[in-house]
Amino acid sequence: MKKLALLFLVSTLSYSGFAQKSQSERLDSLFTALHAKKAFNGNVLVAEKGNIVFEKSYGLANEETGQKLNPQTVFELASVSKQFTAMGIVLLAKQGKLNYDDKMAKYIPELDFYGDITIRHLLHHTGGLPDYMELFEKHWDKTKFAVNQDIVNLMATHKPAVVFQPNEKYEYSNTGYALLGLIIEKASKKSFGNYLKDNIFNPLKMKNTLVYRSRYAPQKIDNYALGYVPDSLGKKVLTDSFGKTFYTYYLDGIVGDGMVNSTLGDLFLWDRALYTDKLVNGKDKALIFNSIKTTNGEETNYGFGWAVSKHEKYGKIVNHSGGWAGYITFIERHIDHDKTIILLQNNESVLTVLPHKEVRKILYNEKIESNGLKAVTLKSEDLDAYLGVYASEGFPLKLTIFKNDNVLMTQATGQGAIPMSAFENHTFTFDPANIKLIFNPEEKTVQLKQGK
């Protein structure tokens, strides 16, 4: 359930003619091109002021049966679940069943040796607790499912040191939100899933949203997207194919940092409710959607379950991404202008992108800049002329050029592979890092340009 950094590998596409297209056509062109490059497989919803301006599905929900995605397909949300965990805590505070400044140990006394860490610290990722996944990798019997109480038991047994003191700094923590999930259960005397169902999902009529652990407690969900990752040969597989000792399998019983499952439509109901007082009031939302400062004066840029930022043109933005077991998810709300972006994907690979910045530009009728070159579509065999390992005396890195179907991939020594977009004159680019490769296939050389 690690939160995905929002600097994703977004390739340059051909956007010629977008100025003459409608907003919906521009969005469809964007996602159609990404799907063709195997960079997007999932569902999209874009809305303005409560009206859905674009909603569409791209690709398959089930590779084995050929079942296609549709807007009603259910996806695992991964870390997008954290906003629901945070809301559960807010509602318990409103119900008088806990206080934000209660010490974590009030509800989890086994961890009283961690001292002054509070619920508020856990919500803001300023608690300083170590990563539970590393603890399980070292000490857990991987033939068994883990649940939230097992996190407590392992931490109580091994007493891993804190990473920093409470509120000393911000560091994203799955441990904190898993413990918040357990605190919800202890304070409400209900299971995490039932508390969210009774207090969020049912009141908002989110009929297709549930806390679902597909391995720990499987059930039949007809319209469900399975999550796929590539195996060593690049074939799409479920993470379960890696065996029951793989972390996404044995950690499947843990909730709070993930495990909420939902649809485009239900997430849109959630978005609309957050503009009202159905669940919480303005005072509550001031906590949920605002950053705080750590003791050294740095902004966390994180509220209660939402990343928070301010843009000169787009205004206040709150969003969250997620990635787990083949799912890549994202929700973004432009609070000042009432715009919403929801992206749910069930393929995760080196080619996968999260094009939220391009969607923003389309929503604000901005031009998506190209690099002045004409984009070209190449077949897999067209890329063979560029493949190989490139090196130069005095240059510290080697560049390995390979292909993934019809996408040229570049990997520098000690770095991850990145997908390149193809343009005329044997030119390939990766715009997020301002990288350009210009090949001379006859001489078997390449010019590497980055920035200026």
Strands 228-230 and 236-238, bridge-based pairing: antiparallel
Six-digit token string for 2: 């690690």
Q: Are 35 and 41 in contact (CB under 8 A)?
A: yes
User: pTM for the complete prediction?
Assistant: 0.82
Q: Are 39 and 32 in contact (CB under 8 A)?
A: no
DSSP 398-411: -EEEEEETTEEEEE
191 is catalytic: no
Task: Supply the pLDDT for residue 369.
Answer: 67
Question: Catalytic one among 11, 29, 57, 79?
Answer: 79
First to last CA, the chain: 37
CATH architecture under which domain 42-363 falls? 3-Layer(aba) Sandwich (3.40)
Q: How far is CA 437 from CA 41, 355, 375, 412, in A?
A: 27, 22, 14, 12
Domain spans, the chain? 42-363, 380-450
Q: Are 227 and 346 in contact (CB under 8 A)?
A: yes
Q: Could you give the angle at which helices 132-139 and 174-188 cross, rounded to 10 degrees?
A: 90
Tell me the average confidence (pLDDT) per consecutive run of 10 residues in the chain, 452 residues long: 33 35 92 91 98 98 97 98 98 98 98 97 98 96 97 98 96 97 98 98 98 96 96 91 96 98 98 98 97 95 97 96 96 98 95 92 85 82 94 84 92 84 90 82 88 62
Task: Supply the pLDDT for residue 293.
Answer: 96
According to DSSP, residue 217 is labeled S
Q: Which one-letter amino acid corresponds to residue 220? A: K
Query: Which residues make Cβ contacts (< 8 Å) with residue 208, sequence separation at least 6?
Result: 72, 74, 262, 263, 265, 266
The torsion angle over the Cα atoms of residues 327, 85, 71 and 5, rounded to 10 degrees, is -40
Please name the residue that has the structure tokens 């063709």: 36
As a whole number of angstroms, the distance between CA 318 and CA 128 comes to 23
